[in-house]
Structure 1
Amino acid sequence: MVTMKDIAAHCGVSISAVSLVLNDQHEGRVSVETAARIRQATEDLGYLPNLAARGLRTRQTRTLGLLSDGVASVPFSGQMLAGAQSKAWKEGYVLLLVDMAGNPDMEGPAVRSLLQRSVEGLIVAVDYHREVDLPRLPRPVPQVILGGRPRRGNADWVVPDERAGARAATLHLIDAGHRRIAFCNLIAPAFAIAESLRREGYESALAEAGLGLDESLVVEASEPNASAAREPARRLLRRSDRPTAVFCFSDRLALGFYQVAAELGLQIPRDLSIVGFDNQQNFAENLFPGLTTVQLPHYRMGVRAAEKAIARLQDGGDGPTGHFVSCPLVIRDSVAAPSGRTPKKLTAHR
């Protein structure tokens, strides 16, 4: 390993001169020409500074820890990690990742491992919007929950604005001329927060447009997959007064409606318009026709979480805060005006 002593010998200068240059404290103490020779020597000889030793001196390691509860193993939500990594790197921080792969027994050892490496802040990432129990830390560091919110405790949090996203999806169908708009929700305890927020957004859009809520148009799937949506879809689409459009809790549930529409001889979007939620990678765009859907902004959520962690380290600030990241509407080909109606110009609502 190349040391500062090697650099000094190579350049014919003292070790203290090398140290001053490498720590940017040489102005007025080491000539410009000598400083340039020292920097060139570090490149030529492959010198790498000992950041751990520097961290002991400055008490700053510029390292963030990220504890992932299964997020790293799922490409769909893994974009959160990419966003956090990108922002941390841009601000001069390194992100250390440990993924628990859904194994809660790993939490204690994972946290200790990160803290032993002197992380200054901790981001806890989860794969869907839920309440999170903060990990117990042997020493206090700022924490940010990414993708969920703390059940209790002192931590900032970053989540998708699912209520606003569902509202935008429903208003998009209303703008297309639809008045009988069904909603297929997911009823599963793990997704209780998302279920509530997405239904609130649906109802809010109906009220905003002066449309009453017809409870008979609200159906539920018991599992987050297409097969669980097929029976609710049949009940809706076999009605003599069937809806002309449906907003689905997720892209997976929307697939169930695609399948039942084909089974009943209905064409999308001529006979039935459909909007999903999630914009699941390599899924929504590959349905035929392409599914109009609401995007979960995983990358931007990761960026925001890293921003919050770094801001806590640099500025401190008041008590913990939450941040909702907007969910954009991704318009494809699954929405059209119902028969006999002329739509407004279709727009992506915020």
Structure 2
Amino acid sequence: MIELILETGYELLRDMPQKYTILDIAKTAGVSRGTVSRVLNNHPSVSDQTRQKVLEVIKRLDYSPNFSARSLRTAASNMVGFATDEVITTPFAVDIIRGAQDTLSQYGKVMIAINTGYDSQAMQKSMEVLLERRVEGIVYAAMFHREIDIPAQLVERIPVVLANCFSKDQLLPSVVPDEVSGGYNATKALLDAGHTRIGFINLSRAWGEPIAPLPASDGRLKGYKKALAEADVPYDEDLLHYTDQRPTSSYDKTLEIMQKDDPPTAIFCGNDRTAMGCYNALMSLSLRIPDDVAVVGFDNQSNLCEALYPSLTTVQLPHYEMGQWAVEYLLNHADDSVDPPQHKLNCPLVTRDSV
């Protein structure tokens, strides 16, 4: 069962308290959140030097643990919050929400979903709404792999797990795609098919936002280079192009890359929408896929990949698995005494007909 709330400006029933949190202590002391928690719980695994450093920061900042928040966490409401920027309104919603919901159902839990957009104030209000519902914890999911900023006061009050995003300094548990493995798997598929001139049309911006580089863009390029190096194929920077994700951008970049003196026989596209533009450009040049040029995408938007002709070989973004992992960790392992994991999930190849 999912209760859906689209955030449109809820009035807060109370302001979130402005005080130092366990995250502030961790950052100031230069240690993890789990280490601070172990010091507070007098855990023997902390060295005397580290313990002293943390205690000095606690004293200097006049920090006191939020015991009311701890009692809130132990009050089982059988409800879990699922907050997101735009996942609910995008094609990726189905898998990541289904992964979370299927896992919650196994535990007899109910999901309350809130869509916040990219507004930090709306995020804070939305989180407060979830706290008013006395959820046992919150999964925050992002539309694309990126760094996010979760209000520190929230983290002090309730367990939070991140999906498809990560926090600065990695002080919250998160699960993200292994972009390097995805780039590697895509490129290796083309190498295994006998190609050595492999173009790469990578992503430079996220949905029109001037964000560069992106974790996805960086990771996929690293995987591309890794696969080439393992096959003893020299990396040729002339074969690397970037698309700004305008509808015509990948079309133009494909024409540009194919006009080189020694054009590629295969093209790895940074996502499936880029591959669609690539298909159209190759068709305009009377080139056949995969006979003349092989193409691999990324994301596995199945409705798009299977609609293209020939159907697109691509790499799977593990949205369903990220939803699963986030809920499993939230319900079973979100313990302050453990350093938060930064978990990466493999991005496997989905073979169709374009290679």
TM-score in terms of structure 1 length: 0.75
Q: How does 1:71-82 map to 2 (within 5 A)?
A: 71-82=87-98
- Deviation digits for residues 160-216 of structure 1 (CA, Å, limit 9, x no counterpart): 111101101100000000011111111124361111000000000000111110111
Q: 1 CA distance for matches of 2:274 and 2:200?
A: 11
Question: Which residue number in structure 2 is paired with residue 294 of structure 1?
Answer: 315
Q: Say whether the 8 Å CA contact 1:133–1:152 is kept in structure 2.
A: no
Alpha-carbon deviation of 1:254?
1.1
Counterparts of 1:220 and 1:193 in 2: how far apart (Å)? Answer: 14
State how 1:74-113 maps to structure 2 within 5 Å: 74-113=90-129
One-letter identity of the residue aligned with 2:242: E
> What CA distance in whole angstroms lies between the structure 1 residues aligned with 2:152 and 2:338?
21
Quote the residue 1:196 is aligned against: 218
SS of 1:144's equivalent? Answer: strand
**Corresponding residue for residue 238 of structure 2:** 216
Q: Where do 1:14-29 residues align within 5 Å? A: none
Cα separation, 2, equivalents of 1:80 and 1:105: 24
- Whole-angstrom CA distance in 2 between matches of 1:75 and 1:253: 16
8 Å Cα contact 2:315-2:350 kept in structure 1: yes
**Does 1:181 find its partner at 2:198?**
yes
| 2:330 matched residue in structure 1 | 309
Instruction: Give me the whole-angstrom Cα distance separating, in 1, the residues matched to 2:117 and 2:94.
Output: 12
Distance 1:251 1:212 in 2: 26
Query: Paired residue for 1:325?
Result: 345
Alignment of 1:240-251 (within 5 A): 240-251=261-272
Query: Who is 1:149 aligned against?
Result: 166
Mapping for residues 48-67 of structure 1, pairs under 5 Å: 59-67=75-83
The Cα offsets for residues 213-267 of structure 1, whole Å up to 9 and x where unpaired, read as 011111111x224411122211111233211001011111111211111111111
Quote the Cα distance in structure 1 between the aligned partners of 2:262 and 2:124: 56
Classify the secondary structure of the residue corresponding to 1:332: coil
Look up the match of 2:141: 125
Summarize deviations over 1:276-301 as a string: whole Å, max 9, x none: 10111411111010010001111111
1:231 maps to: 252
Matched, 1:283 2:304: yes
CA offset at residue 59 of structure 1? 2.5
Tell me the CA shift for residue 98 of structure 1: 1.1
CA distance in 2, matches of 1:244, 1:226: 23
Match of 2:275 among 238, 244, 254: 254
Q: Would you say the 8 A contact 2:179–2:215 is kept in 1?
A: no
Distance 2:173 2:77 in 1: 21
CA–CA distance in 1 between the matches of 2:146 and 2:121?
Answer: 19
Q: CA deviation at 1:79?
A: 1.6
Q: Secondary structure at the match of 2:290?
A: coil
Query: Do the aligned partners of residues 67 and 229 (structure 1) sit closer, same or farther apart at CA in structure 2, a change above 3 Å counting?
Result: same
Greater Rg, structure 1 or structure 2? 1
What amino acid is the match of 1:196?
Answer: D
- 1:130 is paired with a residue whose SS is strand
Pair 104,134 (structure 1): closer, same or farther in 2 beyond 3 Å = closer
State the one-letter code of the partner of 1:310: L
2:92–2:143 CA contact under 8 A, matched in 1: no
* Cα distance change of structure 1 residues 63 and 137 upon mapping to structure 2, 3 Å threshold: farther
1:72 partner letter: I
Name 1:170's counterpart in structure 2: 187
Consecutive unaligned residues of structure 1, counting only runs of 5 or more, are: 1-54, 336-350
- How many aligned positions are there? 278
Q: Matches of 2:170 and 2:259 in 1, distance apart?
A: 49
1:295–1:225: structure 2 CA closer, same or farther, 3 Å change rule? farther
In 1: Cα distance, 2:246 partner to 2:275 partner: 9
Q: Which runs of 5+ in 2 are unaligned?
A: 1-70
Report the secondary structure of 1:242's partner residue. Answer: coil
Q: For the residues of structure 2 that align with 1:99 and 1:275, how far apart are their CA atoms?
A: 32
Q: CA deviation at 1:153?
A: 6.3
Report percent identity of matched pairs.
Answer: 38
State whether residues 170 and 342 of structure 2, in contact with CA within 8 Å, keep that contact through their aligned partners in structure 1.
Answer: no
Mapped partners of 1:179, 1:260: distance in 2: 21
Q: CA RMSD in A?
A: 1.9
Q: CA deviation at 1:325?
A: 1.2
Q: Distance in 2 between matches of 1:175 and 1:199?
A: 18
